[in-house]
Structure 1
């Protein structure tokens, strides 16, 4: 089930139909449905599956190459409202292009193609996407979620969706690559979405930077800190203010080439460690930065949970 690298990102229906040649006979369908649902999610939905149009506002999958999807989907979302809510959080990961088949993999679960029996992604597809996108998620303290545990998916010699583009997962970043956390978002919305994804936002001066266990450790100057958003921070965190750029020892952060002046830093507290999500040189003449800081608490965060730069399981 592969297409050329220059082909569409979508799952081609003709490929899926070809895979169904090995599907169980109709008389075996109930057992097959039960086995697959139990294998991936531990339980089957109480609702009978039905076909619905993929709505235009389901941004993750509206251009996936087919127009109808199954409900409940393969993640046990029983309504389009649920699918919309949870799929939104994966859009930034898709935009990062961490693997060619990210959309194929995610949409096979969020908006499975509407056949009379479920078609799951192969374990090899899951593993390839995890290899490409997992490091990106890990950089922000998000583990690969249990709901996407690759061991739950069928082997490639079973009926399942395989790699579509046949491309290997991207290799590790070269030392000349810009750190993910140091890539600049353009525009007010980008800044605000980063703020939504962060536990804390601080205007601060940076005293020193050093490498530590493959990460970059940023130590803040004790004075002149301004907490703009302090979620998750306790008194000890604020006093010490040590921030980590995960895996930052092997990439570059141009914003930190000079430590003169103040910085706007955003991050998350993960297992007691403060991980950097974004860093900007403070610029009082930057209207977009000024606007974002002023209206950060009134901005309608579009994500259900903080996953702009990674993904965790919904609560």
Structure 2
């Protein structure tokens, strides 16, 4: 396998430290999982396969082939696609420049003679930046990504980009308020949400570090009822977790209708996404029409 100056630096570093001799990139590789891979031994030897275009999390990560089974014990491509798909929205939150590198090193590991894991420092950097965003939606940092599972920095793990790291803007806007009014984005949150409504907001308050949205009593249009009960709809209150002080431009003027998407977590209704109901938006119109027939993927959370 030849390297290219256009490939990510971490990819070139990883390739440089593996064994000098290797077979064709389409060959099956023989390896036994080490203690960072749960001690699991595969009877089927890992294969080097193309990263499919519909593996949205990793299709543009910087290399074209991946190991299967991957480093999260996913043995088939449909399983990889299903599990990786729930992480795509996290990339849009731009919580850390290396989020994609970290996740794809596990979901779609680079195809070399031996598995190359992310360095612990890379995991910690992504976790420290992205976990607060995930918590806003009621998702803890998952055990399967516990950073102490990964190797301490050395030449045999994937480091942060360092000098090649692109400057991402810091997270300032409340995450549920920082979503583009695009059909694909709306539908991702639609599938990840327990309920979706068209409604007005009467009042916004701060409460114990959270922001509290109190719905107007006027009739609400239910686009997806999910876990909501009739009594929930009568006195509907939503929360932006840890959102007392982050800006949310949508809430500066409460005169319009809103497209509201949310989840129920520990008896509390958390806001996942909010858009002003723009009647002129073709993207919104298409999304609302699409909701009537769209079959969501089997995963149902924004982040696993």
TM-score bucket (shorter structure)? 0.7 to 0.9
Counterpart for residue 25 of structure 2:
none
Trace 1:88-127 onto structure 2 (pairs within 5 A): 88-127=85-124
Structure-2 residue corresponding to 1:237: 232
Structure 2: runs of 5+ lacking an equivalent: 20-28
CA contact (8 A) 1:45 1:76 kept: no
Provide, for residues 145-189 of structure 1, a one-character-per-residue CA deviation record: whole Å limited to 9, x for no partner: 22211121122247322222266998974xxx3322112423333
Q: Give the equivalent residue in structure 2 for 1:262.
A: 257
- Which residue of structure 2 lines up, in the alignment, with residue 297 of structure 1? 292
- Is 1:311 aligned with 2:303? yes
Distance 1:154-1:232 versus aligned 2 partners, 3 A rule: same
Q: Which residue of 2 aligns with 1:43?
A: 40
8 Å contact kept, 2:260–2:275: yes
Once residues 13 and 227 of structure 1 are traced to their aligned partners in structure 2, the CA distance between those partners, rounded to angstroms, is 47
Tell me the matched-pair count: 291
How far is 1:62 from its partner?
A: 3.0
Distance 2:209 2:103 in 1: 30
RMSD: 3.0
Shift of 1:285: 4.6
Query: Which blocks of at least 5 consecutive residues in structure 1 are unaligned?
Result: 1-6, 22-28
TM-score, normalisation: structure 2 = 0.83
Q: Which moved more, 1:161-170 or 1:191-200?
A: 161-170
Deviations 1:207-244 (A, max 9, x none): 21111121110111234223221111234422321100
* 2:129 maps to 1:132: yes
Structure 1 residues 229 and 40: CA distance shift in structure 2, 3 A: same
**Secondary structure of 2:244's aligned partner:** helix
Q: Match of 2:24?
A: none
- Per-residue deviation, 1:199: 1.0
CA shift, 1:9, in A, is 7.7
Q: Equivalences for 1:1-315 in 2 at 5 Å?
A: 10=8, 12-20=10-18, 33-36=32-35, 39-41=36-38, 43-157=40-154, 159-165=156-162, 173=171, 177-301=172-296, 303-307=297-301, 310-312=302-304
Alignment partners' CA distance in 1, 2:84 and 2:51: 13
Q: How many Å separate the matches in 1 of 2:259 and 2:52?
A: 38
Q: Deviations over 1:250-299 (max 9, x none)?
A: 21111111222432211111111111112223344544434433431312
- Mapped partners of 2:295, 2:133: distance in 1: 25
Q: Secondary structure at the match of 1:94?
A: helix
Q: Which shows bigger deviation, 42-51 or 264-273?
A: 42-51
Aligned to 2:186, the other structure's residue is in SS state helix
> What are the superposed Cα offsets for residues 41-68 of structure 1, whole Å, 9 maximum, x if unpaired?
4633332222223334433333333333
| Contact 1:198/1:277 (<8 A) preserved | yes
* Secondary structure of 1:33 counterpart: coil
Distance 2:159 2:257 in 1: 48
Q: Please state whether the residue corresponding to 1:45 is helix, strand or coil.
A: coil
Q: What SS is found at the alignment partner of 2:111?
A: coil
